[in-house]
Chains A and B, each alone.
Chain A
Amino acid sequence: MMLPVVVRRFLGRVWDVISAVSVRAKILGLALGLVLVLGAGITVQVRASLAAIMQEQLDDESTTTARDLAARTTDLILLNDLVNLQKLLLETQANNPDVRYAFVLDAEGQVLAHTFGSGFPLGLLESNTVRPDDHHNTVVLQTDDGLIWDTAVPIFNGRAGIARIGLSDARLRQSLQVVTGQIALTVALVLALGVLVATTLTWVLTRPILELVRVTRAVSNGDFSVRVKRWADDEIGDLADAFNDMTAELARTDEIRSEREQLRRQLLERVIATQEDERKRIARELHDSTSQNLTSLMVGIKTMSATCKDPVMQSEADKLRNVAAQTLDEIHNISMRLRPRVLDDIGLSAALEKLVSEWQARYKTPIDLLLQCGPQRMPAEIETAIYRIVQEALTNIARHASARAVSVLVEERNGHLLTVVEDDGRGFDSAGKTGDGHLGLVGMRERAELLDGRLTIESSPESGTSIYVEIPLKGAVS
């Protein structure tokens, strides 16, 4: 069904308002609105029908009272007993509180008696007339005191005169007022009750929901120990149960995940340690054995050529010596790259100095190296990690950055070892995903995190790349 655009837009706006308020406001608004509409409806309805009935009654009463008065005045008028006539009028007024006034006119229209103490209002005479053969005539007069039902009845078919009586609606209005007041009071009481009920209902409904919200937040912050209380045996209670089941399941999954993470960490630690050990072993082997053999070879060749007088043999010996020297150089470089001896023998600072000086010589880019760590040795795994991270960072710079200035900073500050490798080359989007090109970065980060440290990369095309590594020293100095 297609609604006109205007209607849809209006409904949309209404929904916007309704949906924006809280559940409490919705329920309260609904209850109070209903009670108010009902109360107003009843009041208007009751007032209207009551007024109609009472006016009809007043009309009847007016006629009856006037006719009764006319019947009783006939004799008195004929006897011209004005004293008793006056008395009768006063009695009539006294007996019926609705009677505002009563008076009697003779056949000529002269006032014979009236209940107006001070003076008779002359205007009243013309306001109602009755023909002699009429039963009666009632008119409703608008006065300052409200409506007056004025009835004129001919006495003795008009031959003796006219009896007139005025009935006020003051009592009627008062009764209406009282009834309206009572209805309003009832509505107010019901309204108060409605507020109470609605508030209770809201509380009953929203309390478990608010509780759910609180617990959900706790769970999303990683606290899986929280549980929702099942408040009531209804749909919300079922929701609470389902939520608790889900939290328990999450807690289980999280435990498994952290166990796996722990395992992965241990494995990684082992892999790294094993790799370093292996590299150290091979480097040592090359350094201690292979290199020494080559040196022996060179010294031997030198001795032989020194004692040999044949120039051809001497030049052959020189060539051999050069081959050995070149091989020695290559072996030295391989061993350096595997794991520099100086890292184990002297420490991180010396190893970094060496790394930096070789890198500069190789790539012809200056590195500003600043080492602000004390002479004492740091734990071997920290030294190794920092060395490898700087090594990797420099390799990346050589490969990708085309930098003009590079800075390597290692300093001890507030119990942390801070390392910053910075270049002014082409940066990259450090927020981007870690593709295969950034596998090296992942490795660096892993190394830092295994030592409870953290690695931050900031990079932009304008200002190059900065890699920050912060590792806690925990006062541990090996």
Chain B
Amino acid sequence: MTTRILLADDHAVLRSGLRLLLETQPDLQVVGEAATGTETLNLAETLQPDLILLDLSMPHLGGLDALPMVKQLVPSARILVLTMHDDAQYLRKAIQGGASGYILKKAADVELLSAIRAVLRGEMYVHPSMTKSLLEDLLPNSGDTTEKDSWNLLSEREQEVLKLVALGYTSAEIAEQLNLSAKTVETYRARGMEKLGLRTRAALVRYALRSGLISGE
């Protein structure tokens, strides 16, 4: 049984190259080629392919926007994204849109076939350099594992200063608001951060948001 593949990429030379590469495999058959997002939708509906090799940046409806629509039109088809973009956000959006795999064009020649095999087996395939960004969402933020109680270890002044730092005030503004010198504000801030075990402003803001010291937006 052969797998019927739809190629969606606006670059004609690349399409023909891919077709040649895919057809070196006896069980793979390219049944159609689309150069735009709308074309992809039309062909996907009429051809009902088993697998769609989808580029993310195409004229007239980009691949990223087309992806969920294609998935809706042909729910049975596996969608393998083949793109230049190595950004985590594209990957996330693609996976959310229903893609089964995500490979980068720079590795297309070596990874394409194994990716297709994996996807056809019902697995997910993501280019190894990008799996980290997906997993990062699951990992707790390192360095922020401070207990809520530690806030009470801070002096009143330190608490005031840190709250204002978390709200995004400059040291000069905090100094003016609390009638302190900028140097003193820096000292309170450094001491408070030390007590909380936080190293950066971002960590402090995260801590403040989590423990409800400030509200988001």
Considering the complex, give the chain A residue whose CB is closest to the CB of B216.
A372
Q: Across the interface, do B24 and A411 meet the contact criterion of CB distance under 8 Å?
A: no
Closest 9 A/B residue pairs (Cβ): A350-B89, A407-B200, A302-B109, A370-B202, A299-B17, A368-B202, A292-B11, A368-B200, A407-B202
Identify which of B88, B106, B143 contacts A295 (C-beta below 8 A). Answer: B106
Q: Across the interface, do B106 and A325 meet the contact criterion of CB distance under 8 Å?
A: yes
Q: A295-B105, A372-B217 are in contact. Are A409 and B202 (CB under 8 A)?
A: yes
Chain B positions within 8 Å of A328 at CB level: 105-106
A406 at the interface (CB under 8 A from B): yes
Q: Across the interface, do B170 and A342 meet the contact criterion of CB distance under 8 Å?
A: no
A-B contact pairs, 5 of them (CB 8 A): A295-B11, A295-B14, A298-B106, A306-B24, A346-B87
B21 at the interface (CB under 8 A from A): yes
Q: Across the interface, do B105 and A291 meet the contact criterion of CB distance under 8 Å?
A: yes
Q: A350-B89, A368-B200, A413-B167 are in contact. Are A303 and B24 (CB under 8 A)?
A: yes
Closest chain-B Cβ to A378's Cβ sits at a distance in Å of 13
Q: Across the interface, do B109 and A299 meet the contact criterion of CB distance under 8 Å?
A: yes
The distance in angstroms between the C-alpha atoms of A372 and B186, with both chains bound, is 24
Closest chain-B Cβ to A297's Cβ sits at a distance in Å of 8
The distance in angstroms between the C-alpha atoms of A424 and B190, with both chains bound, is 11
The distance in angstroms between the C-alpha atoms of A301 and B13, with both chains bound, is 13
Closest chain-B Cβ to A328's Cβ sits at a distance in Å of 5
Closest chain-A Cβ to B196's Cβ sits at a distance in Å of 14
Q: Across the interface, do B85 and A468 meet the contact criterion of CB distance under 8 Å?
A: no
The stretch from A82-90, A113-121, A237-245, A459-467 touching chain B is A459-467
Identify which of B112, B168, B170 contacts A413 (C-beta below 8 A). Answer: B168
Q: Across the interface, do B205 and A321 meet the contact criterion of CB distance under 8 Å?
A: no
Chain B positions within 8 Å of A353 at CB level: 87-89
Residues of B within 8 A of A (CB): 9-11, 13-14, 17-18, 20-21, 24, 57, 62, 64, 84-90, 93, 105-106, 108-110, 112, 133, 143, 167-168, 170-172, 182, 186, 190, 199-203, 205-206, 209, 216-217
Q: Across the interface, do A306 and B217 meet the contact criterion of CB distance under 8 Å?
A: no
Chain A positions within 8 Å of B57 at CB level: 287-288, 341, 345
A296 at the interface (CB under 8 A from B): yes
- What number of A-B contacts does a CB cutoff of 8 Å give? 147
The distance in angstroms between the C-alpha atoms of A342 and B90, with both chains bound, is 8
Q: Across the interface, do B200 and A303 meet the contact criterion of CB distance under 8 Å?
A: no
The distance in angstroms between the C-alpha atoms of A370 and B143, with both chains bound, is 13
Q: Across the interface, do B17 and A296 meet the contact criterion of CB distance under 8 Å?
A: yes
Which secondary structure characterizes the binding site on chain B? helix
Closest chain-B Cβ to A54's Cβ sits at a distance in Å of 77
A458 at the interface (CB under 8 A from B): yes
Chain B positions within 8 Å of A346 at CB level: 87, 89-90, 93
A398 at the interface (CB under 8 A from B): no
The distance in angstroms between the C-alpha atoms of A406 and B199, with both chains bound, is 9
Most buried by B among A307, A325, A345, A468: A345
A249 at the interface (CB under 8 A from B): no
Considering the complex, give the chain A residue whose CB is closest to the CB of B199.
A405
A74 at the interface (CB under 8 A from B): no
Closest chain-A Cβ to B134's Cβ sits at a distance in Å of 13
A293 at the interface (CB under 8 A from B): yes
A265-289 interface bits toward B, Cβ cutoff 8 Å, 1 = contact, 0 = none: 0000000000000000000000110
Closest chain-A Cβ to B131's Cβ sits at a distance in Å of 14
The distance in angstroms between the C-alpha atoms of A277 and B170, with both chains bound, is 34
Identify which of A350, A370, A407, A466 contacts B170 (C-beta below 8 A). Answer: A466
Considering the complex, give the chain A residue whose CB is closest to the CB of B88.
A353
The distance in angstroms between the C-alpha atoms of A321 and B172, with both chains bound, is 57
Chain B positions within 8 Å of A406 at CB level: 200
Considering the complex, give the chain A residue whose CB is closest to the CB of B24.
A306
Chain A positions within 8 Å of B17 at CB level: 295-296, 299-300, 303
Chain B positions within 8 Å of A413 at CB level: 167-168, 217
Chain B positions within 8 Å of A345 at CB level: 57, 62, 64, 85, 90
Q: A372-B205, A372-B217, A420-B168 are in contact. Are A291 and B84 (CB under 8 A)?
A: yes
Closest chain-A Cβ to B51's Cβ sits at a distance in Å of 17
Chain B positions within 8 Å of A300 at CB level: 17, 20
